Structures are given as structure tokens and as C-alpha cells.
A and B are shown apart, each in its own frame.
Chain A
Amino acid sequence: MTTTTNRTIFSAENIDVFYGTSQILFDVSIAVSEGQTMALLGRNGAGKSTTLKALAGLAPPKRGKTTVLGTEMQRRKPHVIARAGLGYVPEDRQVFPEHSVEDNLLIAEKKGPNGEDYWTLARIFEMLPMLEPLKGRMAGRLSGGEQQMLTIGRTLMGNPVGLLLDEPSEGLAPVIVQQIGALLRKLRDMGVTVLLAEQNMHFCLGIASHATVIDKGEIVYRDTIEALRANEDVKARYLAL
């Protein structure tokens, strides 16, 4: 049921990003097309999170442009980009710890940019059944895996057309990582467009169709993920395996 078209859902084009005076991203370009799950791979500190933050408007690029559904977004505030349809799931989960699970989800409830309203509380609980019995619990008291599920569900509540996922498997037990993998495959099969930042290529195999590799703030490789898997040279040079 995967429907990949050539229509670009969101992109970065030749962006330079700085934190203060130090340049973190150099001329980074990445485009994710409809229904695609793209892996953004690289070592710790390579610039994956910064790329996602630039797309989400949290680390605005100094040069270059970002787009969502063809509209330029590089000068826009994060809430405008979110309303334009780009959903962001941060790396360190960032649930609202003193809100209940249900309230975390309800805060994020909104329609998509074209009135999409597929994701509702009921559908989120259907897809993430482990959260339903916990809906009254304070999010700060969930396990790491449950919090990760919650942040993904929370962002989906905004009915995004594209999803930025920052290291959803980081620091979680293997059995939980498998559950997250299954969730991401489900989203892919539903046709959700995803940019998945990861250090771990193996986690992305079977989820992502394509891979972009970033190193020291520059894009150094892009191809299908199977081609990357077979490319021992690129893996040895740019990925910590």
C-alpha cells in the first residue's frame, strides 16, 4: 500500500546553520517525497538533529531555504511550519511531564494543512494500545519507551503531512526498539512521509527506503538504503557500526 510519488513534501535546499558563530551545517540539501521514509544517518555530532531542527524552524538557517508542500519556510516560526504540515518529534522525547498522557495528546490536536483530521485520540490509542490504559497517568512517570510512543502519537495528533523523527530508538531496550520499529513500518505502510534521523543503520533497514548520510555538517552520500548497506567503504568512513 506504500504510495511513493515524486512530489516533494518537504525539503532543505543548500542550508547553512549556525549556533552562535560556529557553523554546524554546510550547504545541506535533502528532499523527502510523498510516502517516502528517508533515513538521515551519521555519527554522534554529525548534524542530524540540527538538520531536523532547521526544517522544524527551531534552528533557522542563515542561508538557503526550506520548504513544506512547496512553500518557503526558512524565515517562519516553528508553529507556522507545524501548521503548514511538518510534524517534529524531538530526540530527547520532551513529553510534558506534569500533564497526563491524554492531555499531552490533546494539547497537540489540530487539523492538517488541508483539513486532514485522520488522527484522533481514538486512532492514536488504537495504534499505540499500550498508552490507552495509561491515559490518566502523568507523562513524566512513564517508561522511556512509553514516552517515545507518546511523543510520536502527540505529533501525529496534529495530522502532519510530513514527520521528522529524531533518534526514536535512542537509549531504549531492544524489545522496545522493536516495537518502535514496528510502529514506524506501520506508519510507512499508511503512506506517512518520514525523515528518520538515526545513528543505527540496522534499525532503519526494513523501515526506510532511502538513506542520506551526513558527516561534520555536510551531506556525504545519498542512495537507497540497500545500496548503503552494501557499501562497506561509506559505512566504515561515516557510520559508527
Chain B
Amino acid sequence: MDLSALGSCLISPSCVITQSTSGLIIGLLLFLVAAGVSLIFGVLKVVNFAHGAFYMLGAYFAYSAYQLSGSYLIAVLAGGIGVAIFGVLFERLLISRVYGSPVLMQILVCYAMILILDDVVKIIWGADFLSFGMPPAFQQLPILFAGGVVPVFYLFLIVITLIIAALLGLLITKTRYGKIVRAAAVNPSMVSALGINTGVVYASVFMLGGLLAGLAGGLAAPVRSLTAGMGTSIIIESFIVTVIGGMGSVAGALVGSILIGLVRSFGSIGFPLFTEGLMFVMMAVVLVLKPSGLFGKEGR
């Protein structure tokens, strides 16, 4: 523990700025993954343990698209769209067969998928760490803000993930599609009896979750090293986020993710050996005080 280091960071604006932006980036990228986990659980009642592997796949798809096209935009879109398609196939071909099965069965299917994808990644892209490289457009001098140094790419990531979060919020709360998705989460057989194909709704939710995780992988690629298994820590953090924020709540996922991001970045100064532990402590505190999560509905 190094509380004096944390204390001296907190009284230095430049340190606060630097740590906050890196915390925000961790949190917002995490949000894109956690929101999908939360939506999929809310609607399909399936805990998609493979969602971290979706994120990994997004990063690798983006890597290859970047190698081929040289365009970061195309790379990110390839990550998002590629994993969206993969998500639909995964849901239709495998997950849809274990709806209503014991949770253990669903976990097995997801875990098998994680192992398969990790190996597929090693076969296709190799077992070594890959480095995406910073796209030229972002190779600029960092912005100085209140004495803190903020790389341009960080600023871009924060803005773009916030835009995606806002669009997701609008989609879920304002559009007919979002209303149907939320209704299917509560009462799928009634939705079906009203003439809506719930199979299509379920597949679309997996597609949306895949899109978000793939975009996260593509967006993160320039600032993460790519390796098989890179999805493991983000999936664990996603579960912590959904417990803190409340399963099925997009707003809860956003708040939970940002909390985790800030705990990780400031915790790494104050409790360098205990940042993981801090996240679990936060989760435990929420579980004790509000078991349904900060934004969860009681009694569900």
C-alpha cells in the first residue's frame, strides 16, 4: 500500500488529469463489453462468458483489416461488424440450443468457445504478442490540460465511446426495437403472442452485444497488446460491473464501468498490489448494501 503516493497524486492536478483520462478509457472500453453482457443476460438469461473472447476477436479482426487497408476506421468497423456476425452465428448455432438448460450447460458451451477461440487466434495470428501501432492520424503531440498530459488518441477514445454509449441508450429507450427488447426481457411469451419473433430478437441482441464488444476490441487495439486470452480480464471485470451496476441495466453498466476504470487507475498508485482486490471489495460492498446493483430493480 502506498497511500502517500495516492495522496500526492490527488493534490496534483496534472496527476489527477492523467489518471482520470486513463481510468475513463479503461472504464468506457469496459462499458462496451459489459453493456453487451448485461443486455444478453437481461434478455436471454444467458451469462455469456465468451464475451471477453468476442472482444479479443474484435481486436484481431481489426488488426488484420488494418494490415490490409491501412485505415483505422475500416479496422474498427471490421472488428465491430465481424464480431456482430460471429455473435449471431454463435447464438443461432450453439447458444439457442441451451436456452432453458441448466446454467452449467450454458457455462460449458461458453467456456468451450473461449478455449476454441483462443486456440484459433493462436493458429491464425500466432502465439506472440502483436502490436497494432498508433494510427498516423493520432501521432501528434499530446494535449496539455490543467498541467496534465492527454494523448490525442485518448481524447478520441473517450469521445467515441461516449457517443456509442449515447446511441446505445437511445436505441434501448427510445426506439421500437429497444422497447421490444426490454419487453422480451420481462415477458418473452407475451411478446411472441403479440406477433413478434423472439428468436430474431434474441439473435439481434447477440448481434448488438457482438458489435459493441468487437468495436471495443478494435478501438482498444492501438493501446493494448494483442494476445490470445486478452479477453479474460475484461470478462471478469464485466461481471463485476454488472453486479455493481445491476444486471440488465445499460445505465448501471456505464456507471459501474467508469467506477471500475477509476479504481483501476487511481488504485494502481495507492494500492499497486491490490487493484484487483479493490474491485472485488467494491462488488462485495454493493452486494451487501444493494444486492440488485446500483441501478437494478429490487426483487427480480
Interface residues of A, Cβ cutoff 8 Å to B:
56-58, 77-79, 82-83, 88, 90, 94, 96-99, 103, 106-108, 110, 154-155, 158
What 1/0 mask marks residues of chain B from 172 to 205 whose CB sits below 8 Å from any chain A CB? 0000100110110011011111111110000000
Write the nearest CB–CB distance from B42 to chain A, whole angstroms. Answer: 12
- Cα distance A36–B57 when bound, in Å? 58
Identify the 5 closest CB pairs spanning chains A and B, nearest first: A82-B195, A78-B192, A108-B194, A96-B183, A88-B193
Determine the chain A residues whose CB is within 8 A of the CB of B193 once the complex forms: 56-58, 78-79, 82, 88, 90
Determine the chain B residues whose CB is within 8 A of the CB of A94 once the complex forms: 187, 190
Which one of A57, A97, A99, A107 contacts B194 once the chains associate, using CB atoms below 8 Å?
A107
B198 and chain A: residue at smallest CB distance = A79
- Cα distance A154–B186 when bound, in Å? 16
Known: A154-B194, A158-B195. A96 touches B189 (CB 8 A): no
Inter-chain contact B186/A103, CB cutoff 8 Å: no
Q: List 29 A-B contacts (CB under 8 A).
A: A57-B193, A58-B193, A77-B192, A78-B192, A79-B194, A82-B192, A82-B193, A82-B194, A82-B195, A90-B190, A94-B187, A94-B190, A96-B182, A96-B183, A97-B186, A98-B186, A99-B182, A99-B183, A103-B179, A106-B179, A107-B176, A107-B191, A107-B194, A108-B194, A108-B195, A110-B194, A154-B194, A158-B194, A158-B195
- Cα distance A183–B36 when bound, in Å? 43
Please give 10 more A-B residue pairs, beta carbons under 8 A apart, in addition to A96-B186, A98-B182: A78-B189, A78-B193, A79-B192, A82-B193, A88-B193, A90-B193, A94-B187, A97-B186, A107-B183, A158-B195
Tier of interface size on chain B: 10 to 19
B190 and chain A: residue at smallest CB distance = A94
Residues from 11 to 35 in B contacting A, C-beta threshold 8 Å? none
Interface residues of B, Cβ cutoff 8 Å to A:
176, 179-180, 182-183, 186-187, 189-198, 297
- Cα distance A79–B191 when bound, in Å? 8
Determine the chain A residues whose CB is within 8 A of the CB of B183 once the complex forms: 96, 99, 107
Determine the chain B residues whose CB is within 8 A of the CB of A108 once the complex forms: 194-195
Determine the chain B residues whose CB is within 8 A of the CB of A106 once the complex forms: 176, 179
Determine the chain A residues whose CB is within 8 A of the CB of B186 once the complex forms: 96-98
Known: A79-B197, A155-B194. A107 touches B189 (CB 8 A): no
- Cα distance A110–B20 when bound, in Å? 48
Write the nearest CB–CB distance from A77 to chain B, whole angstroms. Answer: 7
Write the nearest CB–CB distance from B198 to chain A, whole angstroms. Answer: 7
- Cα distance A78–B191 when bound, in Å? 9
- Cα distance A169–B278 when bound, in Å? 55
Determine the chain B residues whose CB is within 8 A of the CB of A107 once the complex forms: 176, 179-180, 183, 191, 194, 196
Determine the chain A residues whose CB is within 8 A of the CB of B179 once the complex forms: 99, 103, 106-107
B180 and chain A: residue at smallest CB distance = A107
Determine the chain A residues whose CB is within 8 A of the CB of B197 once the complex forms: 77, 79
- Cα distance A158–B194 when bound, in Å? 7
- Cα distance A107–B191 when bound, in Å? 8
A58, A96, A98: most-surrounded residue (chain B CB, <10 A): A96
Write the nearest CB–CB distance from B197 to chain A, whole angstroms. Answer: 5
A84 and chain B: residue at smallest CB distance = B195
A57, A77, A79, A99: most-surrounded residue (chain B CB, <10 A): A79
B297 and chain A: residue at smallest CB distance = A98
B195 and chain A: residue at smallest CB distance = A82
Inter-chain contact A83/B195, CB cutoff 8 Å: yes
Known: A98-B182, A99-B179, A103-B179. A79 touches B190 (CB 8 A): no
Determine the chain B residues whose CB is within 8 A of the CB of A88 once the complex forms: 193
- Cα distance A77–B193 when bound, in Å? 9
Determine the chain B residues whose CB is within 8 A of the CB of A155 once the complex forms: 194
Inter-chain contact B190/A110, CB cutoff 8 Å: no
Inter-chain contact B189/A58, CB cutoff 8 Å: yes
- Cα distance A96–B186 when bound, in Å? 7
